[in-house]
């Protein structure tokens, strides 16, 4: 069982790192943070032209068909650069939901515009305190092809052109949760921006009032399809978190090398050495779990739920720890707006909050481990 990436995937990762280092510096991230644009439009177009958005989508739908593992190495570099792009919403969530749940005609209609970057999509599933994993507690409902209800927070909800929405639908067996495609620029849709800790990854509230909704695939299969989507998305997001955690560690190590106190680099002090060592250890632990997840994406479907939960928990903890310790390593200066460490803290919390946050994933990890032990 080989968890390492192939030479071709490593080459793609190196290319992604070069492109993003040139086009997405922290200064560029700050322009989005301080400006009015919700994401870097020029970078989005370049990413689409390079084929990154279609890496994991089969060629029959306009993608490159290189598998989920290849998207992992790109996700890591997007996370390392703190790229202000709606990739997670449009590709990891909405695009993957189309792949997992839609019929052939729907896949051919909806996937190509996402791959080209022409359209942006998102997954609208949470309803305030009722998360994605609590589908049967949600109130949004579809009657006769019309959706009524509210979703919040919706990642990239203000700039998305359409959304996959979870909602109740009546069947012969009673109410079930289904997946529905909704045009967010159509009638019956009202959107409002929500305040976010990380404005480079904005969120919105979306209210639906008899909005036209197209059922996605078979309603009865929606629950299982959404679970697969969340498992796969969790692994890609874990790689973004690992990329960000590694970048935070590199920033801390460089600052510890050049910053002097009492006539010597602060990196020579034991307290700073311990900080850096602890960051490195947690990052490597998260990377090993994420590597297991990358393997499961393309070759271990039976192991996917366990691998996703392990990757999600380890990467969330590693990134938050690295972001906090980076601020501490920079001292008082690190807590200022002018310093860059807070950019990593913002992104760490933003990614951590996606997909219901780490707490439900810890419970899922325990459940999966118990199931594997019993088996």
Q: Would you write out the chain's pLDDT as a tens digit for each of its 375 residues?
A: 566 889 999 999 999 999 999 999 999 999 999 988 999 999 999 999 999 999 999 999 999 999 999 999 999 999 999 999 999 999 999 999 999 999 999 999 999 999 999 999 999 999 998 888 777 788 999 999 999 999 999 999 999 999 999 999 876 566 888 999 999 999 999 999 999 999 999 999 999 999 999 999 888 888 899 999 999 999 999 999 999 999 999 999 999 999 998 999 999 999 999 999 999 999 999 999 999 999 999 887 789 999 999 999 999 999 999 999 999 999 988 889 999 999 999 999 999 999 988 899 999 999 999 988 887
- Torsion angles phi and psi, residue 150, rounded to 5: -130, 145
Residue 41 makes CB contacts below 8 A (sequence gap 6+) with: none
- Torsion angles phi and psi, residue 188, rounded to 5: 75, 15
Query: What angle, rounded to 10 degrees, do the helices at 68-80 and 270-299 form?
Result: 150
Nearest CA to 201 among 334, 27, 82?
Answer: 82
* Cβ 316 vs Cβ 351: under 8 Å: yes
Q: For the chain, what's the residue count?
A: 375
Give the distance from CA 293 to its chain's centroid: 14
Q: Is the peptide bond before 153 cis (omega within 30 degrees of 0)?
A: yes
Nearest CA to 97 among 189, 200, 203, 178?
Answer: 178
Give the distance from CA 243 to its chain's centroid: 12
* Cβ 68 vs Cβ 301: under 8 Å: no
* Cβ 307 vs Cβ 292: under 8 Å: yes
Region for 65 from its dihedrals, namely left if φ exceeds 0, alpha if ψ lies in -120 to 50, beta otherwise: left
Q: Give the tokens for residue 201.
A: 């990854």
Tell me the C-alpha distance between 269 and 25, whole Å.
30
- Torsion angles phi and psi, residue 265, rounded to 5: -60, 140
């Amino acid at each position: 069982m080989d968890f390492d990436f192939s030479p071709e995937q490593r080459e793609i990762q190196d290319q992604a790192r070069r492109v993003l280092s040139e086009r997405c510096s922290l200064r560029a991230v700050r322009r989005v943070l301080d400006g009015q644009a919700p994401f870097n439009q020029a970078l989005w177009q370049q990413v689409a032209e390079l084929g990154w958005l279609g890496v994991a989508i089969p060629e029959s739908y306009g993608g490159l068909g290189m598998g989920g593992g290849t998207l992992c190495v790109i996700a890591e570099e997007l996370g390392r650069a703190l790229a202000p792009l709606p990739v997670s919403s449009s590709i990891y969530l909405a695009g993957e939901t189309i792949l997992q749940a839609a019929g052939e005609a729907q896949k051919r209609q909806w996937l190509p515009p996402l791959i080209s970057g022409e359209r942006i999509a998102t997954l609208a599933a949470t309803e305030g305190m009722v998360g994605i994993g609590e589908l049967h507690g949600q109130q949004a409902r579809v009657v006769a092809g019309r959706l009524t209800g509210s979703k919040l927070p919706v990642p990239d909800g203000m700039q998305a052109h359409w959304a996959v929405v979870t909602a109740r639908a009546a069947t012969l067996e009673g109410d079930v949760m289904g997946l529905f495609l909704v045009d967010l620029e159509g009638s019956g849709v009202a959107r409002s921006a929500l305040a976010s800790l990380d404005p480079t990854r904005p969120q919105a509230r979306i209210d639906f009032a008899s909005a036209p909704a197209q059922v996605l695939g078979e309603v009865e299969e929606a629950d299982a399809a959404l679970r697969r989507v969340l498992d796969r998305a969790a692994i890609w997001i874990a790689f973004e978190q690992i990329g960000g955690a590694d970048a935070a560690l590199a920033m801390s190590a460089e600052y510890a090398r050049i910053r002097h106190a009492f006539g010597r680099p602060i990196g020579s002090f034991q307290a700073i050495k311990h900080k850096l060592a602890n960051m490195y250890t947690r990052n490597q632990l998260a990377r090993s779990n994420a590597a297991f997840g990358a393997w499961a994406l393309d070759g271990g479907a039976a192991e996917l739920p366990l691998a996703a939960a392990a990757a999600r928990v380890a990467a969330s903890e590693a990134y938050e720890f690295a972001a906090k310790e980076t601020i501490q390593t920079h001292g008082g200066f690190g807590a200022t707006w002018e310093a860059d460490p807070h950019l990593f803290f913002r992104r760490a919390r933003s990614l951590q909050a996606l997909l219901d946050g780490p707490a439900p994933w810890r419970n899922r990890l325990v459940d999966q481990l118990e199931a594997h032990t019993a088996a």
